[in-house]
Amino acid sequence: MTTDQKNIILATVPILKEHGVLLTTHFYGRMFKHNPELKNMFNMANQQTGKQQTALAMAVLAYAENISNPSVLMPVVDRIGHKHTSIDIRPEHYSIVGQHLIASIAEVLGEAATADILDAWTVAYNQLAKLMSGYEAHLYQNQTDKPNGWTGWRLFKLERKEIESAEICSFYLYPADGGKVPLHKPGQYISIKLFLPDLGMAQIRQYSISSAPDENYYRISVKRETGATVDINGMISNQLHNDVNEGALVELTAPAGSFTLPDDLNAPVMFISGGVGLTPFMSMVHHLNQQQTKHAITWLHGCRNQSVHAFKDDLAQLVNSNNNIAQHIFYNTPTPHDIEEGIYEGFLDINQISNLPHQPGTRYFICGPSVFIQKQFNDLKQLGIDTRDIFFEEFGPQVLNLN
């Protein structure tokens, strides 16, 4: 890009701040109108809630603000790249997106979209597409370099369903070809693709792997969604519960995601989970237990009550058999017996736990709904925890911006 083109991009930053979501909303509507087949690839639930439009607007704004040094966005590129490989995004998709993005800029800005602005954004987008597709090629290569690795969609057979709570069921998925799978990094997710008859289209949903790394299978643990208004994500989860039975075949992509335990982890760990947000930590804690870590593992978990507390007995057994592992549980509506057993009442609050250890160098992992993550992150900051030691995973497009 020329210096003049970079300056033009920077000059559009105020417009993106004010009208970014309007632009991305127009963009998605235009793209799905002209390329309806992409509805099978994009998460239409996040389209309905506006989360995807907001996430894209924030990403475009960040790119524009850092147009002179896009390398500072590598953590974002990494997160998006993992998501893209998990839904099998390929370089050809970038040309389709670019066509509709530039057309949307012209249509939304109208006469303000000068030839220079459109030219600058065309160059900027092509630069971004090259950066993203190049990074994703690296991720795809890493997948195929692993023992038993693959890219794209692979057929798996559901060998076992196991009830974990009143709401959560685990699905044990084995390769239909009888082969093995690559060992995932604890904390990673897999994508599953299901056809939803009510919508007449396929949809993709990511689920954290809840088992320790194993070359034979992957386990996901899925929450059934209830209530009068179940979105498309809930429809996928409920179809797994209701219609995908043992022996069924489903398509998966290889494990992805960077919300993982560091390979060289040599420090205490604290897991803080809300509801179904405990699933990636099940993989992490069993992995650490198998590795016989000598560091303290502390798990804080909050949910409504005992009936929806998945893996309760599994975790109790881990705690009882390993002196390095401790847990603290919060129920919104505990019974008197729960309280006698030491369960806290109410929303998970770190400050209610007396003598909670915060050893130097502890890594903190948070997973749950966005409001849950926000509270736990802020509470840790107020306790003086270095934010560089706090990691979080927000299910769906990331819209939290914590620092």
Catalytic residues: 94, 136
In eight-state DSSP terms, residue 227 is S
Cβ atoms within 10 Å, residue 7: 13
Contacts of 326 (CB under 8 A, 6+ apart): 296, 297, 298, 299, 319
Q: How many residues does the chain have?
A: 403
Name all contacts of 86-91 with Cβ < 8 Å and 24+ positions apart: 86/189, 86/190, 86/191, 86/206, 86/253, 86/254, 86/256, 86/257, 87/41, 87/191, 87/204, 87/253, 88/41, 88/151, 88/152, 88/153, 88/253, 89/41, 89/136, 90/133, 91/129, 91/133, 91/137
CA 295 vs. chain centroid, Å, equals 27
Cβ atoms within 10 Å, residue 88: 18
58 vs 132: CA distance, rounded Å: 16
101 vs 33: CA distance, rounded Å: 13
Cβ atoms within 10 Å, residue 388: 7
Tokens of 291: 């590795």
Helix, strand or coil, per DSSP, at residue 23: helix
User: CA nearest 194: which of 237, 231, 228?
Assistant: 237
Contacts of 280 (CB under 8 A, 6+ apart): 186, 187, 188, 189, 208, 209, 210, 259, 367, 393
Contacts of 91 (CB under 8 A, 6+ apart): 129, 133, 137
Contacts of 173 (CB under 8 A, 6+ apart): 156, 157, 158, 159, 217, 218, 219, 220, 250, 252
Tokens of 346: 């109410």
